[in-house]
Structure 1
Amino acid sequence: MRKIYAACLHFFACGLFLATLLMSSCKKDKSTPIPVPKPIATLGMYEVDSGIYKRIFIPITKVGTQSVTYYSVFDTGSTGMTIDATGLIPASMITNAGITVAGDSVNVNGITITSQTAVIAYGNAQSEIQEFGNLAYAPVTIGDQNGNVTTTRIPIFLYYKIVDNTTGQKQPAHSNDVFGVGPGVSFANSNIGSPLSYFKTAAEVTSGFKLAMLNNAAFSLTGTYVSGLLTIGLVPNDLAINGFVMHNLTYYSQGGYSPDIPATINYNGTSVAGTILFDTGTPAISTIANQQAASNISQLPTNTSVTITTGKGFSYSYTTASANDITQVAKPSYTGDPRTIFSINFFTDNEFLMDYADHKIGLKNN
């Protein structure tokens, strides 16, 4: 009897111990907060107004092992990072004929430069800038002392020469460094995508970025730093019903997914259906493509009302002014571009979201 009693006590004590553990475990589970998904980084950029052009620049402070201070145009209208080779590799490697690469590739200052060459063009048939260079690979630090993040080794376009194709004049080094964050791949080399698309995301975070509404009052000649403009990595709240109207992108065999969105544009009693590019890289004048226009190109009068309505129901209206929201109408046969392109002024009134994983663009009124 004594042994049975002792065994019962032992069993009872074990039961109490297990129950205590279970209760502690339950209490711990209830008190442990569920991790909240966080974006990869939130960075500021510099808003610049030359008096003619508005730009937003993102700082580039390291390429490979080279610490630098360059400012790249943040461009939703192109794909891929381009940067001048000057200051990144020895000057002896840069010639008028190209970058000296022995064999298939060469590694210098932590930058792998391949022998694959290309030309990238920006603008249209009436005004075109061309960059001549090579496919290269390097880790890149985006941002400055105000906040920064470093990529893994990513493909970039390293150019050695930049030319204004309308005049034939060579342009200064780093005068057209571009940080192209559009979807798809670069037309110059299909290995090059948006530098923001290469970040590895944690669970519950989607590859992409969110661009806050630009501060129109912050644009200045010397450049004003505005914090929190760029969020890298999209959390569930960004993609939930959060005011963004989402637009599925179309895939093409050349260039991949296109940032052009089907829409209708209304102005002066005229309605034009086509595709729209919302482009931070267009610094001054929006262009409505209309093959039926009275002339090759003409500027809309001041106080003209313009309304954009996309096929998904996003709508935005503005009124042209003498020094703001300047808009022209042009025949695609003249510009060589069938798209309607809205300039950086669109982004002073609206938010923009790019979902690389699901190939969507989100637009949001403010």
Structure 2
Amino acid sequence: MSNNYYMQKIKVAFWALIMMAMATACKKGGSDSPVPVVPPKPLATLGLFQLSGGENKRLFIPISQIGTKAVQYFGIFDTGSSGLTMDAHGLIPDEMITANGLLVTGDSVVVNGITVTNKTATMAYGDKTSSTKEFGNLAYATITIGNSAGTATTKRIAFFMYYKVVDGDGKEISGSQHSFDVFGVGPSTGFTFAAIVSPLNGFTMPANVASGFKLAKLDNTKFTAAGAFVSGLLTIGLVPDDLNNAGFVMHPLTLGSAGGYSPNIPATVTYGNTTTSAQILFDTGNPAVSVIENSKETTALGRLPVGTVVTITTNRGFVYTYTTSSTGKLTQIQNPNISGDFRTIMSLDFFTDNEFLTDYTGHRIGLKNN
């Protein structure tokens, strides 16, 4: 009888151990369970508008709010400059805007959540052969970009509020308001005001996401006279895969004595039988004609003939080859002693063949054939 009792105790203990083991095996989220790794995501992915008119192409970003003022404006998306410029009309009362400047009492005034300072300057675009100047004031506000398909709002950032635009001859350009708004996303700082930088560098990023943006290859068929909204072109915020595994050739940028980090990339350019060294600016703000600067050219200035093969090779091994035609890839040769600009500038056509990335955190530009 004692042996049976002893065996019964063993059976009970055995089944108790089995039940404990099963409970442990079925337990969720225990200390030994692997914690799933959630990869970081970019801040936002937005669409842009593509527009064409004759030879010119333009890339626009919708702007839906400045400060507390709801708006429907479109800034020229410009990798060749840094900082946002906005026409004062529609943002502040008309009585504050005069032919000679913005009326600001004291150091600054706040209107519609926009701080307009009394600090004035001129923003210049182009070179001495073709230039545009905007006159205005330093201002501050939060900026919301995007439309009903998706938006993102910056922190309070500096921008340039202009009241007048003149051409290279000093003649005031009249026309529709906000037609010269520029959304400059380059990595440098403003030469007029150091506080003015790319609006895309004005966001608070999620953890493990670098400040910067990625521009997908543009769809050449979407450049129409009516304009087309193309979703998913602009990614704000760069995840580790963008910077390490996406196939971009990364180019470290040089810090200058003025203007911060230069977007110009050292390269060689070959056209026909000519090869020249270059500092290349990849510029979505250039609407039509790429410009190759060559100080040794004296007689062959002007547009390259149709069918000319052009090859760009950067100092980091990125290679891009294209052929000029009568309707696209237009390219001209200039002597910097004449143009006053040493930069070789690739136009918006470059972005219909390639992807582009700017890493504000790491001070790099990435280029990728596509």
Q: Sort the TM-score into its range (normalised by shorter chain).
A: over 0.9
Q: Who is 1:261 aligned against?
A: 265
Q: Who is 1:228 aligned against?
A: 232
Alpha-carbon distance between aligned partners in 1 of 2:356 and 2:174, rounded to the nearest angstrom: 31
Q: Who is 1:34 aligned against?
A: 37
Deviation (angstroms), 1:296: 7.7
Deviation (angstroms), 1:283: 0.3
Query: Could you report, residue by residue, the CA deviation over 1:168-188 in whole angstroms, capped at 9, with x for unpaired residues?
Result: 132332121000000020112
User: Does structure 1 residue 112 correspond to structure 2 residue 149?
Assistant: no
User: Does structure 1 residue 219 correspond to structure 2 residue 223?
Assistant: yes
Point out where structure 1 has 5 or more consecutive residues left out of the alignment.
1-8
Q: 2:210 aligns with which of 170, 181, 206?
A: 206
Query: Could you report, residue by residue, the CA deviation over 1:237-280 in whole angstroms, capped at 9, with x for unpaired residues?
Result: 10113210000000011100000000000011100002000000
User: Does structure 1 residue 103 correspond to structure 2 residue 106?
Assistant: yes
Matched residue type, 2:142: P
Contact 1:293 1:331 in 2 (8 A): yes
Q: 1:78 aligns with which of 78, 81, 89?
A: 81
Contact 2:128 2:168 in 1 (8 A): no
Higher-Rg member (1/2): 2
Query: Could you report, residue by residue, the CA deviation over 1:214-238 in whole angstroms, capped at 9, with x for unpaired residues?
Result: 0000111121000000000001110
Q: 2:192 aligns with which of 188, 194, 209?
A: 188
Alpha-carbon distance between aligned partners in 2 of 1:24 and 1:78, rounded to the nearest angstrom: 53
Contact 2:164 2:172 in 1 (8 A): no
Alpha-carbon distance between aligned partners in 2 of 1:169 and 1:334, rounded to the nearest angstrom: 25
Q: 2:279 aligns with which of 275, 284, 296?
A: 275
Contact 1:299 1:327 in 2 (8 A): yes
After superposition, the Cα gap between the structure-2 partners of 1:29 and 1:90, relative to the gap in structure 1 and judged at 3 Å, is farther
Alpha-carbon distance between aligned partners in 1 of 2:40 and 2:93, rounded to the nearest angstrom: 43
Deviation (angstroms), 1:21: 11
Alpha-carbon distance between aligned partners in 1 of 2:208 and 2:259, rounded to the nearest angstrom: 28
User: Does structure 1 residue 285 correspond to structure 2 residue 324?
Assistant: no
SS in 2 for 1:55: strand
Deviation (angstroms), 1:28: 8.4
Q: Who is 1:327 aligned against?
A: 331
Q: Who is 2:57 aligned against?
A: 54
Matched residue type, 1:342: M
Q: 1:157 aligns with which of 155, 160, 175?
A: 160
Alpha-carbon distance between aligned partners in 2 of 1:24 and 1:123, rounded to the nearest angstrom: 63
User: Does structure 1 residue 297 correspond to structure 2 residue 310?
Assistant: no
User: Does structure 1 residue 43 correspond to structure 2 residue 37?
Assistant: no
Give TM-score scaled by structure 1 length: 0.92
Query: Could you report, residue by residue, the CA deviation over 1:45-91 in whole angstroms, capped at 9, with x for unpaired residues?
Result: 00000112101000111101111111110000000000100000000
Q: 1:166 aligns with which of 150, 156, 169?
A: 169
Point out where structure 2 has 5 or more consecutive residues left out of the alignment.
1-12
Deviation (angstroms), 1:302: 0.3
After superposition, the Cα gap between the structure-2 partners of 1:161 and 1:29, relative to the gap in structure 1 and judged at 3 Å, is farther
Contact 2:320 2:369 in 1 (8 A): yes
Of all paired residues, the percent bearing the same amino acid is: 53
Contact 1:81 1:157 in 2 (8 A): yes
After superposition, the Cα gap between the structure-2 partners of 1:167 and 1:104, relative to the gap in structure 1 and judged at 3 Å, is closer
Matched residue type, 1:205: V
Deviation (angstroms), 1:131: 0.3
Matched residue type, 1:255: G
Give TM-score scaled by structure 2 length: 0.91
Contact 1:75 1:279 in 2 (8 A): yes
Query: Could you report, residue by residue, the CA deviation over 1:140-198 in whole angstroms, capped at 9, with x for unpaired residues?
Result: 11011121111111111111111112361323321210000000201121110100111
Contact 2:283 2:345 in 1 (8 A): yes
Matched residue type, 1:214: L
SS in 1 for 2:337: helix
Count of equivalent residues? 352
Deviation (angstroms), 1:117: 0.7
User: Does structure 1 residue 130 correspond to structure 2 residue 154?
Assistant: no
Deviation (angstroms), 1:20: 4.8
SS in 2 for 1:251: coil
SS in 1 for 2:30: helix
Alpha-carbon distance between aligned partners in 1 of 2:353 and 2:40, rounded to the nearest angstrom: 28
Q: Who is 2:8 aligned against?
A: none
Alpha-carbon distance between aligned partners in 2 of 1:55 and 1:315, rounded to the nearest angstrom: 25
Q: 2:322 aligns with which of 318, 333, 348?
A: 318
SS in 2 for 1:196: helix
Contact 1:215 1:348 in 2 (8 A): yes
Alpha-carbon distance between aligned partners in 1 of 2:120 and 2:345, rounded to the nearest angstrom: 29
Matched residue type, 1:271: T
Alpha-carbon distance between aligned partners in 1 of 2:157 and 2:79, rounded to the nearest angstrom: 18
Contact 2:215 2:357 in 1 (8 A): yes
Q: Who is 1:67 aligned against?
A: 70
Alpha-carbon distance between aligned partners in 2 of 1:118 and 1:21, rounded to the nearest angstrom: 70
Alpha-carbon distance between aligned partners in 2 of 1:134 and 1:296, rounded to the nearest angstrom: 42
SS in 1 for 2:95: helix
Deviation (angstroms), 1:348: 0.1
After superposition, the Cα gap between the structure-2 partners of 1:301 and 1:35, relative to the gap in structure 1 and judged at 3 Å, is same
Matched residue type, 1:102: T
